[in-house]
Amino acid sequence: MTQAVDQQQISGLVVKEQSGFFWVETADGRVYRCRLRGKLKESAQASDIAAIGDRVCIEAYPDGTGIIVSVQPRLSAISRAVRTEGARGAGSPEREHVIVANVDHAFFVFAAAQPAPNWRMIDRFLVVGER
């Protein structure tokens, strides 16, 4: 990364997450490849610190990289519990894995005939979508 003199703080939206990196799109359409600030990583939480859909503030560098310095509170999230104890993860939930944050609309698509619809799965998706 470049010197701290070349940075600027801007807000954006996390649009991709992979291997500890977050791609943040800003209002001007630029996308920065970011990492979490050390202080954010150290804060113990029962949920992911940042996820796709989160609004964040970043220190952006001219080379297209950045550091996520803060994450705004989530309005909603589609998530699942992560269980790490017991046989095949059957223990009590230890933390929440956020799949996507701040969801306004959800659109689920299932086949009508081939393969036959799984009604239980449709029920599960509807329940998750209502939360």
Query: What confidence category does residue 80 fall into, taking pLDDT thresholds of 50, 70 and 90?
Result: confident
Give the pLDDT score at 1. Answer: 43
Structural domains in the chain?
Answer: 1-131 (2.40.50.140)
Closest CA to 98 of 84, 78, 82, 83: 78
Whether the full predicted model's pTM is greater than 0.75, yes or no, is: yes
User: 28-57, pLDDT tens digit by residue?
Assistant: 999 999 999 988 877 657 678 899 999 999
Residue by residue, what is the 3-state secondary structure of the chain? CCCHHHCEEEEEEEEEEECCEEEEEECCCCEEEEEECHHHHHCCCCECCCCCCCEEEEEECCCCEEEEEEECCCCCEEEEEECCCCHHHCCCCCEEEEEEECCCCCCCCCCCCCCCCCHHHHHHHHHHHHC
User: 99-111, pLDDT tens digit by residue?
Assistant: 999 998 888 898 9
Largest CA distance in the chain: 60
Distance CA 41, CA 25 (A): 21
Distance CA 99, CA 85 (A): 21
